[in-house]
Amino acid sequence: MTVKVAVTGFGGRMGRALAEALKQAGEAGKAELSAAIVRPGSSLVGADAGEVAGIGRNGVAIVDSLENADFDVLIDFTAPQASIDNAAYCAQHGKAIVVGTTGFTPEQKAAMLSSADKAPLCFASNFSTGVNLCFNLLETAARVLGDDVDIEIVEAHHRHKLDAPSGTALSMGEVVADTLGRDLAKVAVYGREGQTGARERETIGFATVRGGDVVGEHTVTFFADGERVEITHKASSRLAFARGAVRAAVWLNGRAAGHYDMRDVLALK
């Protein structure tokens, strides 16, 4: 069965990447773009979604609300409050939703995840297959290297990214901290300046770089005396995330209500 997928925030960069990924999935008979949604008042309303995305006319007219969309699964890479509202709508109507939005406060995240009580929700900070494999590698590295190393995380993104550190960097930190039995909220250090004193072993440092059109780069380094281990992921195209999100949408369709993530989709847990 071909899964009908709606994409909200269609006018953005990820919306267009998702259109391309869904075109590829449609050629394989797995999923299709059934609705493209933008904010009310957008000049794109009524336009052909395929033309706007640069993939050729597909007969899907862009709409300005979920009420005007026909879909099995919604993919949402928008903004925290919009994702909360969209997840609530899907829960109310028994629809599955894939959320790749980042920048949630703890309270916002809890509000969004509450929708999983009524409908299937796949939420992840990163839908790249490679990044989710890195999460497993980080667990192994942290478990083997233990408390004998210093751990630093460096991430780089394009100039337009709104949140810092990236959701992926924070997820990487959470994976490492959880494996080592640490509370990331207590041991994270977000940048350093001035006379900071000697580094405390249990801290996990974060550094953020913003500039140009960098899609996304993350490196976690485990520094030991005499050697270091680096685990790096570099994305060169948003299609890496879009293909993963479409894969998650196909997997999520028909699942029971609940909170899933990309490692569930990839059977990495």
Q: Which residues pair with 233 in a beta bridge?
A: 218
Mapped onto helix, strand or coil, the DSSP state of residue 80 is helix
pLDDT digits 0-9 by tens, 7-42: 999 998 899 999 999 999 998 999 999 999 999 999
Q: Where along the chain do its domains lie? A: 3-123+238-265, 129-235
Given the residues 4, 109, 161, 259, the one annotated as active site: 161
Q: What percent of the chain has pLDDT over 90?
A: 95
CATH topology of domain 129-235: Dihydrodipicolinate Reductase; domain 2 (3.30.360)
The reply to whether 129-235 shares the fold of 3-123+238-265 is: no
Neighbours of 45 (CB within 10 A): 18
Given the residues 157, 158, 160, 259, the one annotated as active site: 157
pLDDT digits 0-9 by tens, 121-163: 999 989 999 999 999 999 999 999 999 999 999 999 999 999 9
pLDDT in tens, the chain (269 residues): 899 999 999 998 899 999 999 999 998 999 999 999 999 999 999 999 999 999 999 999 999 999 999 999 999 999 999 999 999 999 999 999 999 998 899 999 999 999 999 999 999 989 999 999 999 999 999 999 999 999 999 999 999 999 999 999 999 999 999 999 999 999 999 999 999 999 999 999 999 999 999 999 999 999 999 999 999 999 999 999 999 999 999 999 999 999 999 999 999 87
- Apex CA 21: angle with CA 125 and CA 162, to 5°? 35
Note the pTM of the prediction, 2 decimals: 0.85
Whether 160 is a known active-site residue: answer no
Q: What superfamily does domain 3-123+238-265 belong to in CATH?
A: NAD(P)-binding Rossmann-like Domain (3.40.50.720)
Nearest to 4 by CA among 42, 60, 53, 88: 60
Whether 186 is a known active-site residue: answer no
